[in-house]
């Protein structure tokens, strides 16, 4: 265990994220000095870090104290005037990380100064750098994006990314090039007067080992699906009334696995949505058809007839052994059949998701997965690094069996990147997650003209996303960039029994 003690709890979350990035396998506990007496545990501590923030004096000092008593001290100065930063919100962190207008001449914010100092000390301590440097936010592309929008040039952006956050050349390239592509796509969309819709279908054929999404087995819920759709329709009615005069820029039906719906259920839902909302400027209609074991020709036809123009068919890996290990309950052959069927039914924008760092997988497995995917030639490939979510069966499995990543996720990422390039796909969006394998990122690659527009609108937070269904989160984006959220309960029965309350929550958010 690594214990971090701090005199103010303002930056607890940032400190935890950064220390955890350096020590992914260790438990990290961040406590205030006051909390130490009540919650602190002095047993089995690898080392302690003590941080004193003296914001009024513009000073931060830090001590690393090893269990053998060896102590290292450092101190830095910061810009108190830029002190109005909340340390606990990922999105707030992103905007604050980029809030210095790209200037590296002036002092950093207290948070950035603290993270810079910690980064230097920890990278020295552990003997290597992190690919994303001291950046721990989930949207690293927001920084180059905001700087591009404020007129900064490539050299200024690179300098800022590298000098302020110690981001590697490779990740700076990636973030900068993605920001350029996203900007080009966004410049072509009238998103200011629009919004996007997310519909959550929280049912799946079975539960994957690594899942932490809202997902319930369809067999148990089969008879309630019609009632669930009625609740979605109620939410759609609310949206139609509230967003009159606004256009929908993109629709994303996700989950769960939306293709657990029968063809008539899917048709009913999409037809209702189309009748009630203005989709005349809708640039993309995606249905995540993730699990191949939920796809049938009839379902594909129903979606096609309803105007769905982008789907996901996800292998995650092309190894039957791994699929079994992670509880996917489908085979590689089933995946290939489902994909080919979707092509036969005329889908010309198909995404595939793969996950790197799956239990027991090595670089050779990823090489094999990419070779098989290249043969199929999808339009869009999303490469995830496994993220171990608290509460997932995978987290429990790891607790019981130890950490079992067999390969190097960084090298796997390289293999996937080369494979994507071979298919003519370029990166167009990325995000990071907590506890992500190798402290890396998830990257979406796409063929020219096939980039997932919803993904970009959602990731760059340029417009409101109205989310319907159990376990979904609606995000209101204000003109000044401020963001407020409201969520629907995860439990399907509670969601259905309290549908009026779910709608009331949205009403309060949008008034």
Query: In angstroms, what is the minimal distance from the CB of 161 to ligand SF4?
Result: 32
Of 80 and 209, which CB lies nearer to ligand SF4 in the complex structure? Answer: 209
Distance CA 324, CA 322 (A): 5
Nearest residue to ligand SF4, using CB? Answer: 211
Of 249 and 314, which CB lies nearer to ligand SF4 in the complex structure? Answer: 314
How many Cα atoms within 13 Å fall on the side-chain side of residue 446? 22
Query: Pairing mode, if any, of strands 216-217 and 247-255?
Result: unpaired
Query: In angstroms, what is the minimal distance from the CB of 260 to ligand SF4?
Result: 9
Of 10 and 291, which CB lies nearer to ligand SF4 in the complex structure? Answer: 291
Q: Is residue 300 within 8 Å of 347, Cβ to Cβ? A: yes
Distance CA 78, CA 11 (A): 14
Distance CA 138, CA 148 (A): 19
Of 257 and 409, which CB lies nearer to ligand SF4 in the complex structure? Answer: 257
Query: In angstroms, what is the minimal distance from the CB of 315 to ligand SF4?
Result: 12
Among the listed residues 150, 253, 262, the one whose alpha carbon sits nearest the alpha carbon of residue 198: 253
Of 131 and 200, which CB lies nearer to ligand SF4 in the complex structure? Answer: 200
Query: In angstroms, what is the minimal distance from the CB of 409 to ligand SF4?
Result: 18
Of 108 and 316, which CB lies nearer to ligand SF4 in the complex structure? Answer: 316
**Continuous segment of H or E residues that includes residue 286:** strand 284-288
Three-class SS state of 465? strand
Distance CA 2, CA 66 (A): 10
Estimate to the nearest angstrom the gap between the alpha carbon of 307 and the chain centroid: 27
Of 144 and 359, which CB lies nearer to ligand SF4 in the complex structure? Answer: 359
Of 75 and 321, which CB lies nearer to ligand SF4 in the complex structure? Answer: 321
User: In sequence order, what are the residues at sequence separation of 6 or more whose Cβ sits closer than 8 angstroms to the Cβ of residue 400?
Assistant: none
Query: In angstroms, what is the minimal distance from the CB of 421 to ligand SF4?
Result: 27
Query: In angstroms, what is the minimal distance from the CB of 329 to ligand SF4?
Result: 9
Query: In angstroms, what is the minimal distance from the CB of 356 to ligand SF4?
Result: 15
Provide the b/e sequence for 100-121 (b: ≥16 CB within 10 Å): bebeeeebbbbbbbbbbbbbeb
Query: In angstroms, what is the minimal distance from the CB of 470 to ligand SF4?
Result: 12
DSSP one-letter code for 379: S
Among the listed residues 293, 311, 315, the one whose alpha carbon sits nearest the alpha carbon of residue 302: 311
DSSP one-letter code for 490: S
Query: In angstroms, what is the minimal distance from the CB of 290 to ligand SF4?
Result: 5
Distance CA 175, CA 142 (A): 9
User: In sequence order, what are the residues at sequence separation of 6 or more whose Cβ sits closer than 8 angstroms to the Cβ of residue 13?
Assistant: 87, 88
Give the interface with ligand SF4 as residue ranges (CB under 6 A). Answer: 204, 207-208, 211, 213, 215, 255-257, 290-291
Which residue blocks in 23-141 are alpha helix, DSSP H? 33-39, 90-97, 110-126
Of 144 and 255, which CB lies nearer to ligand SF4 in the complex structure? Answer: 255
């Amino acid at each position: 265990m690594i214990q971090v003690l701090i005199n103010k709890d303002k930056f607890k979350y940032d400190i935890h994220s950064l220390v955890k990035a350096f020590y992914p396998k260790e438990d990290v506990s961040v406590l205030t000095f006051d909390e130490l007496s009540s919650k602190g545990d002095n047993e089995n501590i690898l080392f302690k870090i003590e941080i004193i923030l003296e914001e009024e004096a513009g000073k931060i000092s830090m001590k690393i104290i090893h269990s053998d008593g060896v102590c290292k001290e450092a101190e830095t100065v910061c810009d108190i005037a830029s002190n109005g930063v909340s340390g606990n919100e990922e999105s707030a962190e992103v905007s604050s990380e980029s809030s210095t207008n790209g200037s590296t001449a002036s002092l950093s914010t207290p948070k950035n100064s603290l993270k810079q100092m910690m980064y230097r000390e920890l990278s020295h301590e552990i003997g290597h750098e992190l690919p994303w440097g001291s950046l721990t936010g989930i949207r690293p592309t927001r920084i180059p994006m905001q700087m591009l929008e404020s007129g900064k040039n490539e050299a200024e952006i690179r300098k800022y990314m590298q000098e302020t956050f110690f981001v590697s050349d490779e990740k700076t390239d990636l973030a900068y090039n993605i920001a350029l592509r996203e900007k080009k796509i966004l410049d072509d969309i009238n998103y200011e007067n629009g919004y996007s819709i997310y519909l959550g279908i929280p049912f799946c054929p079975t539960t994957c080992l690594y899942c932490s999404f809202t997902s319930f087995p369809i067999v148990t819920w089969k008879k309630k699906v019609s009632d669930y759709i009625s609740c979605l329709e109620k939410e759609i009615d609310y949206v139609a009334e509230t967003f009159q005069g606004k256009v929908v820029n993109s629709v994303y039906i996700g989950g769960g696995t939306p293709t657990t719906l029968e063809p008539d259920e899917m048709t009913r839902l999409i037809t209702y949505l189309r009748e009630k909302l203005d989709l005349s400027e809708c640039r993309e209609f995606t249905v995540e058809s993730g699990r191949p074991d939920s796809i049938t020709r009839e379902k594909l036809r129903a979606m096609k007839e309803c105007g769905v123009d982008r789907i996901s068919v996800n292998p995650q890996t092309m190894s039957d052994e791994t699929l079994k290990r992670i509880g996917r309950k489908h085979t590689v052959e089933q995946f290939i059949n489902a994909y080919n069927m979707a092509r036969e039914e005329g889908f010309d924008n198909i995404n595939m998701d793969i996950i790197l760092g799956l239990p027991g997988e090595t670089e050779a497995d990823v090489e094999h997965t990419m070779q098989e995917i290249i043969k199929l030639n999808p339009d869009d490939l999303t490469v995830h690094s496994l993220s171990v979510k608290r509460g997932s069966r995978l987290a429990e499995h790891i607790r019981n069996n130890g950490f079992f990543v067999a390969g190097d996720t960084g090298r796997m990422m390289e293999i996937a990147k080369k494979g994507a390039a071979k298919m003519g796909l370029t990166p167009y969006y990325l995000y990071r997650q907590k506890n992500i394998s190798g402290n890396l990122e998830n990257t979406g690659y796409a063929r020219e003209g096939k980039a997932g527009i919803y993904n970009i609108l959602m990731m760059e937070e340029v417009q409101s996303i109205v989310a319907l269904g159990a376990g979904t989160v609606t995000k209101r984006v204000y003109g000044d960039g401020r963001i407020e959220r409201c969520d629907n309960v995860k439990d399907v029965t509670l969601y259905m029994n309290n549908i009026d309350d779910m709608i009331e929550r949205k009403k309060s958010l949008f008034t």
